[in-house]
Structure 1
Amino acid sequence: MFTDADDANATSVRAWRDRPAGHQPDWPDAGDLEATVAYLRTLPPLVFAGEADRLQREMAAASRGEAFVLMGGDCAESFEEATASHIRAKIRTILQMAVILTYGASVPVVKIGRMAGQYSKPRSAPTETRDGTTLPSYFGDAVNGHEFSRPSRTPDPRRLVEAYQRSAATLNLIRAFTTGGFADLDKVHEWNKGFMANPAYARYETVATEIDRAMRFMLAAGVNHESLRTVDLYASHEALILPYEEALTRVDSRTGQPYDCSAHFLWIGERTRDVDGAHVELLSRVRNPIGVKLGPSARPADVLALVDRLNPEGTPGRLTLIARMGASTVQERLPALVEAVRDDGRPVTWVTDPMHGNTISASNGMKTRRLADILAEIRGFFSVHESLGTKPGGIHVELTGDDVTEVLGGSEEIVEDTLPARYETLVDPRLNHQQSLEMAFLVSEMLRDVHL
């Protein structure tokens, strides 16, 4: 249960307003924004404190090597694709990957979707110019439209309400799918067997056969537990649009502590992790498990300052550090950060984001990534933790359950000439369904050699 959103403890969350806030839209009417925020405060929470607390315990287990985190979903969700079929496809992909990773890691996999709220994105520039016309950049469907026209690109706070409504509908479907039989382990395993029927994936047959043997052993042994039929799938997004996150903050009546009830897990991006900035200030006030993206410019002093602000008492599972270094620099830049945090002693969960540091432009100008680079960064991440005696806690990837052609490579070999066939992302390129599963098999093989 939650108390009134205007409780004094919740009001303290508004302290971010006194800090510099980067990557915020230029809302044309401050009065409209405030009215929207006031309305959002009256709406029910999207998630609950007990769910966030449970996830924090699971993130703590991952920090100790007793679990492994899989975070995956769209770069930027769109209102148009918040349909049952698209949501089901993403959930199916995450569940299939989780089964493969569970076998490789031999520990539970914590499943977190970049879903039900990932409707905004920071941009390199606040405006975009085409053919002499300059308009606001597309900041995600929660802010403005993707179409390059003045009515579409003008930030509209009413979109925040639609983002809430779409998130609520998505969470409703997530709960239905993960508890209503869709997530049954035997069914998920059958999907993976269907994936293996394609000769392109013959190299993963050994792992797939071992998983199949383990499944048949459980069946023969009479293992028939409810945990094999239902799963927890948590929701996460970047806490970018600060008025929205403030409006969804509620105070838990059990503990008197504020939670950002827009998602179970929130993260701060590489571009907004200023230790004295508004994003860090806001998330320092809420009790959700939270993350921070760290790019190659991050220094040990920066990271320790973030730990001081976001998890000063060292609560296990509270803080996740998400490294996004790039395949060519991960083994050069990451060790100093991991070593500094290890020596500090306060627990964090280390996760790799192998996507954002490996974005390139194809010869035709399209933004893309190479699956080989994504896998190379994951290997480098594991190697760094192995050398320092620390725990690699998980992976954070941009993916879709659809058969898009946005990332180069994979056994079915997407090449530059085929990128335009189904290039559907609104912002950054995503792994498609087949590439996601192929990556899961390869990471599963890596995990067998890692001492979690």
Structure 2
Amino acid sequence: MTDLSVSPAARFTSTAQSGAADYPGLDNWRSLPISQQPSWSDPDVFRAAIAELSILPPLVFAGEVDVLRERLAAAARGEAFLLQGGDCAETFGAATADRISARVKTILQMAVVLTYGAQLPVIKMGRMAGQFAKPRSSDTETRDGVTLPAYRGDIVNGYDFTPESRAHDAARMLRAYHTSASTLNLIRAFTQGGFADLRLVHTWNKGFTENPAHARYESLAREIDRAIKFMDSCGADFEALKRVEFFASHEALLLDYERALTRIDSRTGLPYDTSAHFLWIGERTRELDHAHVDYLSRVRNPIGVKLGPSTTGDDALRLIDRLDPEREPGRLTFITRMGAQNIREKLPPVVEKVTASGAQVLWVTDPMHGNTVTSRNGYKTRRFDDVVDEVRGFFEVHRALGTVPGGLHMEMTGDDVAECLGGSDPIDEAAFEDRYESVCDPRLNHMQSLEMAFLVAGSLSKRH
């Protein structure tokens, strides 16, 4: 961990921020060690941004958050499955209708396949409409002898390697809010206005399996086709199947932003972070006595925690006690990111200890972050086979222990990028020169994401 001092921004807190949600303990995090926070360049700009964020309308609503908590509780019991996917780091420039629709389309396509494989409802959640902040291993970056602040996501600074771009500009938080609002507006239009029609989404998947590279998945696609035709002949209400629930999530990294968007629910008098339905704490910021765990313990949203290979069973139990002391169904999700080489050895003792305690958390696999390597031509990448192997290991562990493998968390895009190696229609290193677009971590492209869905569907079918 780096930079464990009190947030520089916390030293010039505005009164408007504390008024955003006047609830005991919400500002306790300001007195605790904190990491991965910006050093805002202008205190006046910071105060103005926080004051405006504190009075803007919520991006999501408390009632929607409560619905998601119920859905996640069902997934923890094995009655649903969570699919969470989207960009490593969203950018303002990529928040276009075409890019957003491509991501939503890909998640919907994956969900149809997973629903058939699991024979369960699939909860659809995007790493979208707020995934603008990124943790970094170093505060600075050096190129050709020039050292500048590291890129921390568009909510903090720009990707261009110039002093002006890399300055920590608090006004960017306002742009992040408005970009999130427009993204959510478009997602709601897509998922409620016919774009999510089951028959249409299935037709898109048939196009995927007609590619000779993916022919081995054609039999599953035919099974789904027969099931849809059977439903149609039985008079299923396909009008109702044109609309789906879709939830937004991001890492709750930038606490000044999260605090400013926290509101008190008029129904219950309790605080909700209205920047997203679901928030997670990263592997770098999950210390029990530090700011991120303290703040997220005080809001009513469902919370996720990333668990890497160094996690022990006792670590997991302490996190449960801190974040879910009431053992509330749907409250806590553990997102494991062990790496393909570690998953079968490191995950079982953690799951066993949590299970023995009686806690019912939702177990989700993130097969991306533990499998990052550097290609021969210098690009950060992941091998598709490693990603698949971690997913298989996750299911093998839970099957052996009799516990529920409840979800899949992926960095993916709906675009035809080349960032991860392999797949049935393989990406090689030469393709990186022209089609590598990520500003942070490598993502599965559209075809690799769909292939992952078909592979996971096979593992899900073995749960029955």
2:369 maps to 1:326: no
Alignment of 1:114-193 (within 5 A): 114-193=127-206
User: Structure 2 CA distance, aligned partners of 1:227 and 1:158?
Assistant: 42
User: Structure 2 CA distance, aligned partners of 1:72 and 1:258?
Assistant: 26
Does the 8 A contact of 1:252 with 1:258 survive in 2? Answer: yes
Deviation at 1:303, TM superposition (A): 1.0
Does the 8 A contact of 2:18 with 2:27 survive in 1? Answer: no
User: Structure 2 CA distance, aligned partners of 1:225 and 1:5?
Assistant: 47
Deviation at 1:200, TM superposition (A): 1.0
Deviation at 1:29, TM superposition (A): 2.7
- SS of structure 2 residue aligned to 1:288: coil
User: Structure 1 CA distance, aligned partners of 2:47 and 2:138?
Assistant: 25
Equivalent of residue 303 in structure 1, options 306, 311, 316: 316
Alignment of 1:17-166 (within 5 A): 17-166=30-179
Does the 8 A contact of 1:63 with 1:347 survive in 2? Answer: yes
Deviation at 1:11, TM superposition (A): 5.7
Q: CA RMSD in A?
A: 1.2
User: Structure 2 CA distance, aligned partners of 1:85 and 1:158?
Assistant: 26
Deviations 1:332-361 (A, max 9, x none): 111111011101112100000000000000
User: Structure 2 CA distance, aligned partners of 1:35 and 1:303?
Assistant: 39
Alignment of 1:253-272 (within 5 A): 253-272=266-285
Equivalent of residue 217 in structure 1, options 217, 230, 238: 230
- SS of structure 1 residue aligned to 2:410: strand
Deviation at 1:8, TM superposition (A): 6.5
Deviation at 1:226, TM superposition (A): 4.2
Deviation at 1:232, TM superposition (A): 0.6
Equivalent of residue 313 in structure 1, options 300, 323, 326: 326
How many residues in Structure 1 have an aligned counterpart in Structure 2?
448
Q: Which residue number corresponds to residue 264 of structure 2? A: 251
2:455 maps to 1:439: no
Q: Which residue number corresponds to residue 353 of structure 1? A: 366
Q: Name stretches of at least 5 consecutive residues in structure 2 with no aligned partner.
A: 1-16
Deviations 1:178-236 (A, max 9, x none): 00000011110111111122111100011011000001101111101543110011000
Of residues 32-41 and 93-102 in structure 1, the stretch that sits farther from structure 2 once superposed is 32-41
- SS of structure 2 residue aligned to 1:107: coil
Alignment of 1:376-395 (within 5 A): 376-395=389-408
- Give the aligned residue type for 2:102: A
Does the 8 A contact of 1:5 with 1:250 survive in 2? Answer: no
Q: Which residue number corresponds to residue 375 of structure 1? A: 388
Q: Percent identity?
A: 61
Of residues 142-151 and 197-206 in structure 1, the stretch that sits farther from structure 2 once superposed is 197-206
Q: Which residue number corresponds to residue 414 of structure 1? A: 427
Deviation at 1:34, TM superposition (A): 2.6
User: Structure 2 CA distance, aligned partners of 1:362 and 1:62?
Assistant: 37
User: Structure 2 CA distance, aligned partners of 1:208 and 1:217?
Assistant: 14
- Give the aligned residue type for 2:118: A
2:435 maps to 1:397: no
2:324 maps to 1:338: no
User: Structure 2 CA distance, aligned partners of 1:312 and 1:226?
Assistant: 42
- SS of structure 2 residue aligned to 1:285: coil
Does the 8 A contact of 1:117 with 1:237 survive in 2? Answer: yes
User: Structure 2 CA distance, aligned partners of 1:7 and 1:447?
Assistant: 43
Alignment of 1:274-313 (within 5 A): 274-313=287-326
Does the 8 A contact of 2:90 with 2:130 survive in 1? Answer: yes
Q: Which residue number corresponds to residue 254 of structure 2? A: 241
- Give the aligned residue type for 1:123: R
Does the 8 A contact of 1:10 with 1:249 survive in 2? Answer: no
User: Structure 1 CA distance, aligned partners of 2:240 and 2:50?
Assistant: 39
Of residues 410-419 and 397-406 in structure 1, the stretch that sits farther from structure 2 once superposed is 410-419
Deviation at 1:252, TM superposition (A): 0.3
User: Structure 2 CA distance, aligned partners of 1:13 and 1:195?
Assistant: 48
- SS of structure 2 residue aligned to 1:141: coil
Spell out structure 1 runs of 4+ moving beyond 4 A: none
2:29 maps to 1:16: yes
User: Structure 2 CA distance, aligned partners of 1:445 and 1:5?
Assistant: 49
TM-score under structure 2 length normalisation: 0.95
Deviation at 1:419, TM superposition (A): 2.0
Q: Which residue number corresponds to residue 200 of structure 1? A: 213
User: Structure 1 CA distance, aligned partners of 2:95 and 2:18?
Assistant: 28
- Give the aligned residue type for 1:323: T
Deviation at 1:6, TM superposition (A): 2.5
Deviations 1:306-347 (A, max 9, x none): 101100010000000000000000011111110111011121
- Give the aligned residue type for 1:197: E
- Give the aligned residue type for 2:151: Y
User: Structure 2 CA distance, aligned partners of 1:296 and 1:413?
Assistant: 29
User: Structure 1 CA distance, aligned partners of 2:286 and 2:249?
Assistant: 17
- Give the aligned residue type for 2:70: R
Deviations 1:111-144 (A, max 9, x none): 0000000001000101111111111000000000
